[in-house]
């Protein structure tokens, strides 16, 4: 509970001071062209890429390493993977999306150390995320969320979800490297490069 409260508090404070305020064109701008960035489509592309990498990495981590943590006060491999899955429910919940029945954010990160279940939780939370974002209209991204800050909107929540996903993917890669595990996408790239060099 403390983690969720603290995360929400930090988000609220950040949005309140306008750090993550929605991008706006200055009133004196002479640029009258339409924005070229489709946040909905790009967010889904980014989140799907992170999802694939998280699942691939979870499958590459030996089962006996899932409880490894860099220090006693850090999350373990398993806890970070589950944190990624759980935060999808928590962050999207800020704009009213309902987590599945029975989801307990306080206990979720410690709910399993079994690889198959971790992968399943990542997959289930991705289905939830994909459905939630695809269910939003472009206008929904500009819908204000006053409880998070005077200029906060639903698009800010999606932006936070994307940034958070990339942050934890980086954390998982660092964990892997510390344990001599080459991320599968890196191993594949190295394999292709070696194959091309041998021709």
Residue 164 CA to residue 9 CA, distance in Å, equals 15
64-91 average pLDDT score: 98
Using pLDDT thresholds of 50, 70 and 90, give the confidence band for residue 81: very high
> What are the tens digits of pLDDT across the range 181-198?
999 999 999 999 888 887
Look at residues 96, 88, 99, 86 and name the one whose alpha carbon lies nearest to residue 145: 96
For the entire predicted model, the pTM comes to: 0.82
Taking alpha carbons only, the member of 63, 84, 60, 62 closest to residue 188 is 60
pLDDT in tens, 130-180: 999 999 999 999 999 999 999 999 999 999 999 999 999 999 999 999 999
Domains and CATH numbers, the chain: 2-17+38-194 (1.20.120.450)
Q: Phi then psi for 180, rounded to 5 degrees?
A: 70, 20
Contact 135, 105 (CB under 8 A): no
């Amino acid at each position: 509970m403390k983690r969720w409260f603290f995360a929400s508090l930090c988000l609220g404070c950040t949005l309140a001071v306008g750090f993550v305020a929605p991008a706006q064109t200055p009133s004196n701008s002479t640029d009258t062209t339409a924005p070229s960035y489709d946040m909905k489509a790009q967010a889904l592309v980014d989140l799907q890429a992170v999802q694939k990498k998280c699942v691939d990495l979870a499958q590459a981590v030996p089962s006996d390493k899932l409880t490894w943590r860099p220090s006693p006060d850090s999350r373990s491999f398993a806890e970070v993977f589950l944190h990624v899955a759980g935060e999808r429910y928590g962050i999207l919940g800020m704009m009213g999306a309902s987590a599945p029945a029975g989801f307990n954010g306080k206990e979720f990160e410690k709910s399993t150390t079994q690889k198959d279940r971790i992968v399943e939780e990542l997959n289930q939370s991705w289905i939830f995320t994909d459905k939630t974002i695809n269910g939003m209209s472009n206008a929904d991204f500009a819908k204000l969320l006053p409880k998070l800050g005077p200029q906060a909107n639903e698009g800010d929540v999606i932006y936070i979800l994307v940034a958070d996903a990339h942050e934890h993917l980086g954390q998982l890669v660092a964990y892997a490297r510390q344990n001599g595990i080459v991320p599968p996408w890196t191993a594949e790239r190295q394999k292709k490069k070696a194959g091309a060099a041998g021709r």
